[in-house]
Structure 1
Amino acid sequence: MSLSEVRIQTDDFDLSTEIARLRADHPQVGGVVSFVGTVRDLNEGAAVSAMELEHYPGMTEQSISDIVDQAKQRWPIFGALVIHRVGPLRPRDQIVLVAVTSAHRGEAFAASEFIIDYLKTAAPFWKKEQTPAGARWVDARVSDDQALNKWQ
């Protein structure tokens, strides 16, 4: 695996395996930060029984690669891994993994937070939830935009 990788997939991922791959053969790594996002069973006051994630193939991977490149320009990180699932998902399913390696924890934490904030607002994904009232598209959240603003 290269030191940076972006994968869009339907299959689940194993956190331990992915972190081990990211760290393999890189003794300079002193810190690894990971974030795993999961499907909640409640959103905006409504029960969620399922979610479907759609994306624009090619554009999505490029958009996320650009985000990772920006993180590498801002912080001295060694590597970053972003795995984002698409397709049908259920509550408790893993949706996204962001993992960052660096010599020190501070850079890894900052770069990881930067990447996930940009993923939530700038990556071309569309989410449709199944609720008791029927299917609905998930709109962007004001809080996600506010989180992104701190990086401007």
Structure 2
Amino acid sequence: MSITVRIQPDDFDPAAEVAQLTEGRPEIGAVVTFTGLCRDEEGRLAALELEHYPGMAEAEILRIAEEAGTRWPLEGITVIHRHGKLAPGANIVLVITTSSHRTAAFEAAEFLMDYLKTRAPFWKKEWLADGTSGEWVEARDHDDTAAERWQTA
């Protein structure tokens, strides 16, 4: 199984990443992608700033990607997470999972996103349209609830 983890300030092209992961791989029967975008539901956000610990964040995401590979029969995983100031509508995260069959690819993608939302070492701060900085974004209870379903004894 191939695993790619990148944390970068630059944007990414989901279609190009899928092509890179699947090219010449006839054993792949399912590709699931999730692209998370910077949203601004209330029209007050100028940017979302994402910070991380270089090295530690990549290692943690690689660890959880490897765990996904032990839970499901996957052929490949790509996780790309951006950092820096991102405007509303910008890509933030890309998760791609591939498998011979769709169920494994869907479940693994959900597992990875639930982890990224709740446990990955990223911090988010809002920058408001009025030029002021807002609050650090706290984890949401529903994200924690979603992640709890993957706990193993």
TM-score (norm 1): 0.94
Q: CA RMSD in A?
A: 1.3
Q: Does 1:52 align with 2:62?
A: no
Q: Counterpart of 2:38 in structure 1: which amino acid?
A: V
Percent identical residues: 52
The SS at the match of 2:27 is coil
Following superposition, the deviation at residue 135 of structure 1 comes to 2.2
Q: Does 1:128 align with 2:128?
A: no
Following superposition, the deviation at residue 46 of structure 1 comes to 7.0
Matches within 5 A, 1:32-71: 32-42=31-41, 47-71=44-68
Alignment partners' CA distance in 2, 1:47 and 1:78: 41
Q: Deviations over 1:113-139 (max 9, x none)?
A: 000000111110000101246421101
The change in CA–CA distance for 1:61 and 1:150 in structure 2 (over 3 A counts) is: same
The change in CA–CA distance for 1:136 and 1:46 in structure 2 (over 3 A counts) is: farther
Q: Does 1:108 align with 2:102?
A: no
Runs of 5+ in structure 1 lacking a partner?
none
- Runs of 4 or more above 3 Å deviation: none
Alignment partners' CA distance in 2, 1:15 and 1:73: 25
Q: Deviations over 1:56-101 (max 9, x none)?
A: 0000000000110110010000100000000010000000000000
Compare 131-140 and 91-100 and name the one that shifted more: 131-140
**Matched residue, 2:4:** 5
Alignment partners' CA distance in 2, 1:134 and 1:59: 26
The SS at the match of 2:33 is strand
Q: Counterpart of 2:136 in structure 1: which amino acid?
A: W
Alignment partners' CA distance in 1, 2:77 and 2:144: 23
**Matched residue, 1:144:** 143
TM-score (norm 2): 0.93
